[in-house]
Amino acid sequence: MRFNDAITGAVLVVFAVAEIAYTRTFPSLHGQAYGPDLFPMLIGVGLFGCGCVLILRGLLARREQRMESGGQASASWLDLSNVAESSNARLNAALVVLFLVLYIVLSDFIGFIPISFITISTLLYRLGSSLISSCVIAIIATAVIQFLFAKILLVPLPAGWMQGLVW
């Protein structure tokens, strides 16, 4: 998923302006000319500058592209050539992010074991394993992780639904 440099540049410029505006609200140190706002402000200025150059570069590249194609084809703002054509692959990537969000939101309530089993088995199945092997691998992997982290390293993985059942 490749954006034209002008787009990334514009995002950076907007971010930098917002960041600098926010740093203005920081209190200054009593009797000091430099406070907690100095360093983030310098970063903001740097990002702003880089963003402007990127916008310029992106626009120049677009113009060149258009000149090469004789003004026919419109140069694209977004290039998807290195992302798989199939909506399948895109769905898989979305699933990875979705499962992470699910873990963040629901792990306390559902518990580690069910959520880990659902995540691993679904992704395995989506990525090409058979249904049975997906489930078997997911059970084994979940058990190993639970044992390794909860039993040996004593990480308090959320128990959730399995409260009282987890060994």
Partner 1 sequence: MDVILQAFALVLDPAVLGVMLLAAIFGLFVGAIPGLTATMATALLVPFTFFMDPVPAIACIVTTVAMAIFAGDIPGALLRIPGTPASAAYCDEAYALTRKGKAELALGTSLVCAVIGGVIGSAVLALTAPMLAEFAIKFSSYEYFWLACLGLSCAVIVSTGSTLKGVVSLLIGLFISTIGIDITAGHPRFTFGSVEMMGGISFIPAMIGMFAISEVIRFTVSTDPKPSVVQQPIKRVFNGIGSTLKSYKLNVFRGGVIGAVVGVLPGAGADIAAWIAYAVSKRFSKKREKYGTGHVEGLVDAGTANNAGLAGAWVPALVFGIPGDSITAIVIGVLYMKGMNPGPTVFMSQPELIYAVFIAFFIANLALLPLGFLAIRLSRLILRVPRHVLIPIILMFCIVGSFAINNTVFGVTIMLVMGVLAYFMEENGFPVAPTILGIVLGTMLEDNFMSSMIKADGDLMGFFSRPIAATLGVLVILLWLVPLCRALFRVISRQRT
The reply on whether position 127 binds partner 1 by CB under 8 A is: yes
The reply on whether position 149 binds partner 1 by CB under 8 A is: yes
Q: Which amino acid is at 51?
A: G
Residue among 66 and 95 whose Cβ is closer to partner 1: 95
CA–CA gap between residue 40 and residue 16 (Å, rounded): 10
The reply on whether position 65 binds partner 1 by CB under 8 A is: no
Q: Which stretch binds partner 1 (CB under 8 A): 25-33, 69-77, 159-167?
A: 25-33
The reply on whether position 77 binds partner 1 by CB under 8 A is: no
User: Which residues in this chain contact partner 1 in the complex, by CB under 8 A?
Assistant: 1-3, 5, 8, 12, 19, 22-23, 26-27, 29, 32-36, 38-40, 43-44, 46-47, 50-51, 53-54, 57, 82-85, 89-90, 92-93, 95-97, 99-101, 103-104, 107-108, 112, 116, 119-120, 123-124, 127-129, 137-138, 141-142, 145, 149, 153-157
